[in-house]
Structure 1
Amino acid sequence: MSKTIVITGAGGVLCGALAKALAKQGNKIALLDLNKDAAIQMADEINKDGGDAVGVEANVLEKESLVNAKDEVEKAFGKCDILINGAGGNHPLGTTSNPFLEAQDLINKNEGFKTFFDLDPKGIQFVFNLNFIGTLLPTQIFAEDMVGREGCSILNISSMNAFTPLTKIPAYSGAKAAVSNFTQWLAVHFSKVGIRVNALAPGFFLTEQNRTLLTNSDGSLTPRGNQIIDQTPMGKFGEPEDLVGTTLWLCGEGASFVTGVVVPIDGGFSAYSGV
């Protein structure tokens, strides 16, 4: 049975791949993104491939914007059956320059060099809001219509660094840990009204946000990219399609008794001790 699926952050690489896969299953896809052009372009690609999609501008940090987006979705497809909270990301102001603090770092005056003590609270707040509040607000707007209806669910996007924080990115690691915790809380809270809530925890996937961090201009790996591959038992980055199988399962009837789980999709990264 066709469902109406709303995906935030849908103009990006990973959520775009999920949107295309879910459209191929006969679902109606509403692609929400702050970048309206990116959402419309992704919707056009789905429609040209025989799917049924619409691109909608939405700011996941503004309730009024989300209410307007909901109105557009309902005019096009009806009430939301499945919400995928895919909007998120990091920010340089919430990132340290080095993985470990050394005493000499405190006297480093190089432009742009940041220790933990230099992190900008506004940058930290931006990252936390984008990932956590950007999950909470769409859920408030779209999940109310799910109450008491069969087959409705929410899929959040956490991260494997919610299990074990990565060096240099305390804001992003903390924000994704909050998403995982919220996923479990919400699964319990919604358990009596028929709404399942689960999350994906992707490992390392090459996206436009992290490509320059993990690869050089010639395609070779940066030191951090090599470090990640060395710590990933499967020895590679994930491909967007690697998220599809778990997404289809968690959004489908085959997972009708599954709620409150956060599934790592990381090539074994979170399971590997390094030895």
Structure 2
Amino acid sequence: MKNSTVQKIAVVTGAGGTLCSEMAKDLAKQGYKVALLGRSLDKLKIVEEEIKSMGQVAISVSTDVSDEASVINAHAIILKELGSCTVLINGAGGNQMEALTNITEFDDRELDGDEAIKGFFNLNMDVFKSVINVNTMGTVIPSFVFGKDMAKQKHGSIINIASMNSFRPLSKVGAYGMAKAGIANFTQWLAAYLAPAGVRVNAIAPGFFLNDRSIKIMFDENGNKTDRAINVLGHTPMNRFGEAKELIGCMNWLIDENTAGFVTGIVVPIDGGFLASSGV
């Protein structure tokens, strides 16, 4: 059962984004003191002010979650201003347009310098590597830094943000898919490792949700669905995109020791049936 003496302090990375900002605000409504981490302080401050307007506590810390020194610095600030973390949401990550191909299978033209074709063989490997780094080490490092507090307290919950790519590779997003598959594996590994410390580690795998980046992929400048969007929705039985608020119930279940105290090492898809559909 939940230890009522443990402070309710949550660290949310990627907290300026569409999905994790909703998570942060819901945690605040529950009485958590929330530390908002991300690269853009301006985006974090918007969420911070929303939380404070509810009469709750939040601080913003500009952090590069893929850099250990930056996360250690954030940890020191949070420890001083709020206390020891008891819930960690590893939501920072995302993709880059430069890491996406614009074709779904090999085309000879990608070897010939045809600028209209962006295949695997003419991607920028530095960008490819950076996507893997922010999505993998951007989860590993906060878990490494804040997980120590949880291990000392013999209490805590870590939630990683996985993806449909964690279950099967999607076209065009080789780097992102590789990284998110790694998140599922790391979630299981860390869950088994931290179980003796009383720390549970799970992951939420959103299906297709709209945010600032995906809107540009799913809709053209006139607001019409792209071929990618039509394809995605055609493979989603509920025939719509998810909304950020639809992740909250799963998050709250996973962090609640009264209802999920024996749950660790799982990856929960919230996908409108995407994984259940063969598309045939």
Aligned to 1:81: 86
**Residues 148-183 of structure 1: CA distance to partner in whole angstroms, max 9, x if unpaired?**
425411100010111111101100000000011000
1: distance between equivalents of 2:203 and 2:172?
24
**Secondary structure, aligned partner of 1:263:** strand
Letter of the 1:20 partner, please give it: K
1: distance between equivalents of 2:99 and 2:222?
28
2:265 matches 1:260: yes
2:98 matches 1:116: no
2: distance between equivalents of 1:38 and 1:102?
40
Aligned to 2:29: 24
Aligned to 1:231: 235
2: distance between equivalents of 1:94 and 1:136?
21
Cα contact 2:107–2:119 (8 A) shared by 1: no
2: distance between equivalents of 1:143 and 1:108?
47
**Secondary structure, aligned partner of 1:153:** strand
Cα RMSD of the aligned pairs, angstroms, is: 1.4
Match of 2:160 among 153, 156, 173: 156
How much does 1:219 deviate? 2.5
Aligned to 1:186: 190
2: distance between equivalents of 1:14 and 1:97?
26
TM-score, with normalisation over the residues of structure 2? 0.94
2: distance between equivalents of 1:85 and 1:141?
12
Cα contact 1:41–1:55 (8 A) shared by 2: no
Aligned to 1:56: 61
Cα contact 2:154–2:197 (8 A) shared by 1: no
**Secondary structure, aligned partner of 1:142:** helix
1: distance between equivalents of 2:128 and 2:70?
23
Letter of the 2:123 partner, please give it: L
Aligned to 2:246: 242
2: distance between equivalents of 1:171 and 1:152?
30
**Secondary structure, aligned partner of 1:100:** coil
TM-score, with normalisation over the residues of structure 1? 0.96
How much does 1:48 deviate? 0.4
Cα contact 1:183–1:199 (8 A) shared by 2: yes
2: distance between equivalents of 1:66 and 1:106?
41
How much does 1:104 deviate? 4.5
Q: Which blocks of at least 5 consecutive residues in structure 1 are unaligned?
A: none
**Residues 248-274 of structure 1: CA distance to partner in whole angstroms, max 9, x if unpaired?**
110112111100000001101011101
**Paired residues, number:** 274
Q: Matched residues, percent identical?
A: 44
Aligned to 1:129: 133
Letter of the 1:63 partner, please give it: E
2:217 matches 1:177: no
Q: Which blocks of at least 5 consecutive residues in structure 2 are unaligned?
A: none
Aligned to 1:11: 16
**Residues 175-233 of structure 1: CA distance to partner in whole angstroms, max 9, x if unpaired?**
00001100000001111111100000011001001111101233221111111111100
Cα contact 2:110–2:121 (8 A) shared by 1: no
Aligned to 1:212: 216
